[in-house]
């Protein structure tokens, strides 16, 4: 059944390409001069790009007309979106217009992104980060280059479980001669960091994963020469897990501790980047970073996904009013965020599939909350809700802020009852 569908799919695409080729080849060879010359290469490459982007079982060709081809994309089999590839490219290239069927999307302002690292090729090594020399107060430090001379490229992913947190602290914390300061802070001392980054992790009962995450991420972030601090926002008690709400709390609470944060990385605790050229600063914003997760065979499950790891500058996150607070349980909150991003006209950027590779920690992986049954209803009016659901309506009770050697725990109560009147 599935195999048949996929053959059919390729047949259709082949057919369309053939039609396009048939139509425009005469033009290319100068036989006809009435039709505008179309860059066929760009056109078909666009299609190829799309095929890579959307796994075939989630995409179907909706219609083909003089104007172009419309694909229907099925996200999780319920969130349908249309993508239009125009036939008449403007100025030497086709344009790709992605929009949600349920809301009008303004034209995004396209910021052309240059991957922070593309040209640099280094051999993978397992070298530990050289400890930072004694800090000297100096205002004439050079900027930390975002080319990252300390980067090593593809990384070894250690998924073994550290015996206890102290085993990890022994390698990294200042308490044991390392460089990470209390609360999970670090800053380069030989150059001026480009970004001051708050790493925010929503959390509940995943201590084994947290140990692995911290062991991997501290050296990773230090090689990128970022000033950073790692925050774990823990939802106490038993209400369904509210991942998005916890991100909002992390944003607010981290800024209370350090007004200087200008870049926020929102990440799950079980995602380990496999290449340190995947920059955890904010080279662009908003930016979806976990584009190629091993669990999804190193591909994007669907084009509008924003799950896993994402980056925002402070201003951009405030501009979209943060995440929604209304998703209780698994799923949907990231799709909602995607709509917010397109609604205000932001252009989402991503690292390449090569740089954006991730390992999902498999041990102790359980779904802590059931899927939110209300999520499809919420997704129907993401755009309308955004100004009255997010940072400006966030409610929670701070239990305590606990600065541990490698991480700052923000323990909070976040309950559904806080939101019902």
Ligand X SMILES: *[C@@H]1O[C@H](CO)[C@@H](O)[C@H](O)[C@H]1NC(C)=O
- Interface contacts to ligand X, rule CB under 6 A: 76, 79, 301, 305, 307, 331-332, 334-335, 375, 379
- Give least dist CB 369 to ligand X, A: 12
Contacts of 415 (CB under 8 A, 6+ apart): 237, 239
Q: What is the dihedral of CA 311, 315, 316, 321, to 10 degrees?
A: 110
- Give least dist CB 228 to ligand X, A: 25
Other C-beta atoms within 10 Å of 342: how many? 21
Residue of 304, 286, 302 whose CA lies nearest to 100: 304
Q: Smaller CB distance to ligand X: residue 47 or 341?
A: 341
Alpha-carbon dihedral sign for residues 248, 250, 253, 259: negative
- Give least dist CB 309 to ligand X, A: 12
Q: Smaller CB distance to ligand X: residue 228 or 266?
A: 266
- Give least dist CB 367 to ligand X, A: 10
- Give least dist CB 248 to ligand X, A: 17
Q: How far apart are CA 86 and CA 42, in angstroms?
A: 11
**Burial zone of 315 (CB within 10 Å; 0-12 exposed, 13-18 middle, 19+ buried):** exposed
Q: How far apart are CA 409 and CA 412, in angstroms?
A: 9
CA angle 375, 376, 378 (to 5 degrees): 65
- Give least dist CB 32 to ligand X, A: 46
- Give least dist CB 420 to ligand X, A: 22
Q: Smaller CB distance to ligand X: residue 188 or 331?
A: 331
Q: Smaller CB distance to ligand X: residue 24 or 296?
A: 296
111: its two tokens: 């910021």
Q: Smaller CB distance to ligand X: residue 180 or 305?
A: 305
Torsions phi, psi for 87 (to 5 deg): -85, -35
Q: Smaller CB distance to ligand X: residue 54 or 220?
A: 54
Q: Smaller CB distance to ligand X: residue 58 or 222?
A: 58
- Give least dist CB 97 to ligand X, A: 22
Q: Smaller CB distance to ligand X: residue 202 or 332?
A: 332
Q: Smaller CB distance to ligand X: residue 39 or 368?
A: 368
Q: Smaller CB distance to ligand X: residue 154 or 301?
A: 301
- Give least dist CB 134 to ligand X, A: 44
- Give least dist CB 75 to ligand X, A: 6
């Amino acid at each position: 059944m599935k195999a048949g569908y996929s053959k059919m799919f390729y047949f259709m695409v082949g057919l369309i390409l053939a039609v396009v080729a048939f139509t425009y080849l005469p033009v290319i060879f100068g036989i006809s001069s009435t039709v505008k010359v179309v860059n066929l290469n760009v056109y078909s490459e666009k299609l190829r790009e799309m095929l890579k982007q959307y796994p075939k079982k989630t995409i179907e060709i909706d219609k083909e007309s003089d104007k172009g081809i419309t694909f229907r994309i099925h996200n999780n089999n319920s969130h349908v979106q249309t993508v239009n590839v125009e036939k008449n490219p403007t100025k030497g290239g086709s344009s790709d217009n992605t929009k949600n069927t349920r809301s009008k999307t303004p034209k995004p302002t396209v910021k052309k992104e240059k991957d922070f690292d593309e040209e640099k090729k280094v051999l993978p090594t397992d070298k530990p980060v050289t400890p930072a020399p004694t800090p000297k107060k100096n205002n004439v430090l050079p900027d930390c280059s975002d080319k990252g001379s300390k980067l090593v490229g593809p990384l070894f992913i250690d998924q073994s479980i550290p015996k206890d947190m102290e085993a990890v602290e022994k390698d990294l914390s200042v308490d044991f001669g390392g460089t990470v300061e209390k609360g999970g802070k670090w800053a380069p001392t030989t150059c001026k960091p480009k970004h001051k980054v708050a790493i925010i992790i929503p959390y509940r009962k995943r201590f084994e994963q947290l140990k692995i995450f911290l062991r991997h991420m501290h050296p990773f972030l230090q090689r990128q020469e970022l000033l950073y601090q790692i925050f774990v926002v823990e939802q106490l008690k038993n209400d369904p897990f509210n991942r998005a709400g916890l991100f909002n709390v992390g944003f607010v609470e981290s800024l209370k501790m350090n007004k200087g944060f200008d870049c926020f990385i929102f990440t799950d605790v079980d995602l380990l980047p496999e290449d340190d050229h995947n920059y955890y600063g904010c080279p662009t914003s908003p930016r979806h970073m976990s584009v190629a997760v091993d669990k999804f065979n190193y591909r994007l499950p669907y084009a509008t996904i924003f799950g896993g790891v994402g980056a925002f500058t402070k201003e951009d996150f405030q501009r979209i009013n943060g995440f929604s607070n209304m998703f209780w349980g698994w799923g949907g909150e990231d799709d909602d965020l995607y709509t917010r991003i397109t609604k205000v006209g932001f252009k989402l950027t991503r690292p390449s599939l090569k740089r954006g590779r991730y390992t999902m920690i498999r041990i102790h992986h359980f779904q802590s909350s059931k899927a939110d049954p209300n999520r499809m209803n919420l997704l129907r009016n993401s755009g309308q809700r955004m100004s009255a659901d997010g940072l400006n309506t966030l409610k929670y009770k701070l239990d305590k802020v606990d600065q541990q050697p490698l991480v700052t725990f923000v323990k909070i109560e976040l309950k559904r009852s806080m939101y019902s009147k």
